[in-house]
Amino acid sequence: MTGPDGAHWLARCSPAPDTVFAAWAREELARIPAPPAWAVAEADLLHSVRAMEPLSRTARLGPVLAHPETERAWWLVPPDAHEHLTDLHRLTLHERGWPLLCPSPQHGAQGMCWLERPDGTGKLTDPAALAAAFGRGGRDGHLPAEAFGVRHEVASHKRAICQREEG
């Protein structure tokens, strides 16, 4: 669900929110430089769509912008995402200040649309889960248990199975 809160949150990320709202009122794209609060990870659209499903199941999915004509997608991620994403060849991490051209979260414009809209809370895509979906251990869109923070639970479950088999 996205309403005015998602649009207000995104516009407030810009140094000139009024300019953003004016562009959206004209059904144009607004130029929003990546602020200190988030970074932008760019990827192929098909891989992005495949990665979204497992991320959404675990509530680790934040805003994702798409341009189907160029087959590109842009993920809003935390500013420290480089720790998880820099060595993945399928993702390009853009620096702070990089201009993201955004339609309103409420509707697309000029061929661009939000696959996952900003919800107004500031929620961003979890970079470790995104890295798993795109690369390390995440082939074919399957995430390893570690991406969901369940490494300990999986290890405990395996120990329990082993103990039952021994007993």
CA angle 76, 18, 72 (to 5 degrees): 30
Specify the pLDDT at position 43.
96
**Using an 8 Å Cβ cutoff, are 143 and 137 in contact?**
yes
Output phi, psi for 95, to 5 deg. -75, 165
How many structural domains compose the chain? Answer: 1
Q: What percent of the chain has pLDDT over 90?
A: 70
Q: pTM (2 decimals)?
A: 0.79
Q: Which residues of the chain have pLDDT under 70?
A: 1-4, 136-167
Q: Give me the domain span that covers residue 61.
A: 4-166
Specify the pLDDT at position 159.
31
Specify the pLDDT at position 89.
86
Specify the pLDDT at position 87.
83
**Using an 8 Å Cβ cutoff, are 60 and 125 in contact?**
yes
